Amino acid sequence: MNVSEKTAVRSEINVTPLVDVCLVLLIIFMVVTPLLYKQVDVQLPRTPGPGPLPPAEGMVKVAIQENGTIRVNGIFVSREHLASTLTDMHSPDRPVVVEGDRRLPYGEVRGILELIQKAGFRQVGLVAEREG
């Protein structure tokens, strides 16, 4: 082996640091993603045996917090604009699930259900937690 072979520049890429950074990013996303899913603080009513929620693409999620704050798919919507927002999202077979806080008066949740019905949705369900 001569001197020129020992001092020649190598053009190989070292991918080990890249793999390390990618794995760290993957772990961060795995930890943060479940925290982002629970966006609205709603204490759901408890029942002995709610049925499982059928999977549906494009499901509209309406959450009503104890203080009356309404969120549609995680986005704040005032009660006055709820009907127009839902009308804009309407499609014939699109289901709606309502997460009403158990501390809310029944009339408040019923009023939201009426607005959903007036917007044209026919598949509406209430979300509850299983007791025990």
What pLDDT, in 10s, does the model give residues 80-128? 888 888 888 887 678 888 988 888 888 888 999 998 888 888 888 888 7
Collapsing DSSP states into helix, strand and coil, what is residue 17? Answer: helix
Characterize 56-91 residue by residue with b for buried, 16 or more Cβ atoms within 10 angstroms of its Cβ, and e for exposed.
eeeebbbbbbeeebbbbeeeebeeeebeebbeebee
Does 20 have pLDDT greater than 60?
yes
Q: What is the pLDDT averaged over residues 13-29?
A: 90
Torsion-angle region of 74 (φ positive above 0: left; ψ -120 to 50: alpha; else: beta): left
Q: What is the pLDDT averaged over residues 41-47?
A: 68
Q: Is the pTM of this model over 0.85?
A: no
Higher-confidence residue: 3 or 47? 47
* Domain map (residue ranges) of the chain: 3-37, 46-130
> Angle, to 10 degrees, between the axis of helix 79-89 and the axis of helix 106-118?
40
Architecture of domain 46-130: 2-Layer Sandwich (3.30)
What pLDDT, in 10s, does the model give residues 61-83? 899 988 888 998 888 888 888 88
* Greatest distance between any 2 Cα atoms in the chain: 90
